[in-house]
Amino acid sequence: MTKLSGLILHLGAASLTGAKVMLDPVTRLIDIDGVCPIPALLPSFFPTCRDSAGPGPETNTTTTPYTWPLSTPCAGTGPDRYCVYSDPDFAHGHGISVITTPARAAQLSRSRVFTSASSSFSVSASFDETLNAPSSPKWRVQPIAGKGQGLVAARALRPGDVILRETPSLMVDYGAWAALSAEDVRRLQAQGVGSLPGAHRVGFMGLSTHDEDGEGEEEIRGEWGGRGMNMTRVEGVVERIMETNAFDIYHAGEVVETEEEEERTWYTVFGTISRMNHDCRPNADYHFDAATLTHNIHAIAPIAPGEEITISYIDNIQPLAARQSHIQRTWHFQCTCAQCTQPGSLSTSSSYRLAQLIALRTSYLPLLYHNPSPLPSQPPSISFPTPQQAHLLLSLTAQERLLGTPLYEAHALAALAHSASGDAWGAVREARLAEEWALVVGKPGDGAEVRDMRGLAGDPGGHWSWMWNRRGRIGGRKGGGERTGEDEE
């Protein structure tokens, strides 16, 4: 559950014109004239129509072109037509449903995770005991007082341990809420859940909400289909599960919506990860790998057997009032974690620290994502922090008990600050710590962040940032730093 915000709604319906209906138990409406309609018998919740969304002209010829096996009812017309694309065989039978436009479905199908009509999980190395595991020797699902269900460590976990890796159950394109009515979105969401494999669907319907089930809703959660079932109530249960458990996923280059400077593409539920509860100072961190559609959870602190495994649903580098407001507005509960319930004087002190921390991060964090290597022809538009400023940033981060990605970023900025000032050994120390924390939170060992810090640690004088604060005009490198070791590629 890591949703990062509110929703907007609107639209219209589609007709059955031109559709050929086959009276088979698993009904399929074959798209004849480019319209993928909403069938009159939607409550059956069988996969109901096949759409033409496929790989398109940019298909990678080194892999088998992929076409979505099932495309169920759609709503809207033209560029605002949204359908449910499902593949029950995705990720070795885990299954997936996606609500999006035909164009985006085609684009998604070109991802390397989709390699054949049978949707084999393309990155075989990624398929291990942690992927989509219904259970694990590392964790168990159990009731948590005041929180419903949660994940608890079954054995001791160390920082960097992979706890869980999972592909989505249901992904909803954020554009759907701008294009469709609330009723249409609810209908498509329920259809997407209905198209998941049986065990996966049961697990989804077992996810908690932050309110009590109404009369008869336990039966709705436990059974599926049946023409006598009240589908409006089914859609309502699915919607509340989505509101309580969905993550906001950002897919690079495909931003659909921005709220409070957060960019979102997909509103996404993961069957097991969505059971993880929030803490403003969590002991686990996560990242979404768009190439494999995999959400990865890593321990960022030692976790004892029996201790709850938590993540943060929000940007937790915010003052108390902002954190509480965001959580209440989006997930409709009040956070009672240790950070939010500390005594007033300590909370006030924390707010002052966070204000300084936010100011420093706002000023200097862009440096980490500029990465002008090899030596740029123009300096970054942002100045470097001094080593003293960088160490204040590190101190504030530690005082606020911020682990994982914020600690990687603080050490990386400190490494750049020492390098820009010509302090080779300070740069090496901080770059090594940044490299370690990058790996702890699951950044790839051959990724840009790790390579940049490893390169700085191995050869400060050869790094693009070396002596930056002492250079005159750009044109030649004023190196002279000591080569400190081994590592560079």
Instruction: Write down the pLDDT at residue 58.
Output: 41
Distance CA 388, CA 169 (A): 46
Instruction: Write down the pLDDT at residue 373.
Output: 47
Instruction: Write down the pLDDT at residue 129.
Output: 64
Which residues of the chain fall below pLDDT 70? 1-64, 115-129, 210-229, 250-264, 370-382, 471-489
Helices 405-420 and 448-458, axial angle in degrees (round to 10): 40
Instruction: Write down the pLDDT at residue 391.
Output: 97
Query: What tokens does 160 get?
Result: 């960097």
Count, in order, helices (H) and strands (E) of the chain.
Answer: 13, 18
Query: What tokens does 116 get?
Result: 């054949």
Please, where are the H alpha helices in 332-488?
344-364, 387-399, 405-420, 424-440, 448-458
Task: Name the residue ranges covered by the structural domains of the chain.
Answer: 20-299, 344-470
Query: What tokens does 357 get?
Result: 């921390």
Q: Using only the alpha carbons of the chain, give its radius of gyration.
A: 25
Distance CA 474, CA 72 (A): 58
84-108 confidence digits (pLDDT tens) = 999 998 988 899 999 999 999 988 8
127-184 confidence digits (pLDDT tens) = 456 788 888 999 999 998 888 889 999 999 999 999 999 999 999 999 999 999 999 9
301: CB partners within 8 A, 6+ apart: 159, 283, 403
85: CB partners within 8 A, 6+ apart: 51, 53, 68, 70, 71, 97, 98, 99, 100, 105, 108
Query: What distances in angstroms separate CA 109 from CA 112, 123, 229, 264, 308, one per listed residue?
Result: 8, 15, 34, 19, 37
Residue 263: in which H helix or E strand, if any? Answer: strand 262-264
User: What are the φ and ψ backbone dihedral angles of 251, each rounded to 5 degrees?
Assistant: -105, 115
Query: What distances in angstroms separate CA 32 from CA 12, 17, 66, 117, 349, one per listed residue?
Result: 21, 9, 20, 21, 65
Residue 166 burial (CB < 10 Å; 0-12/13-18/19+)? Answer: buried
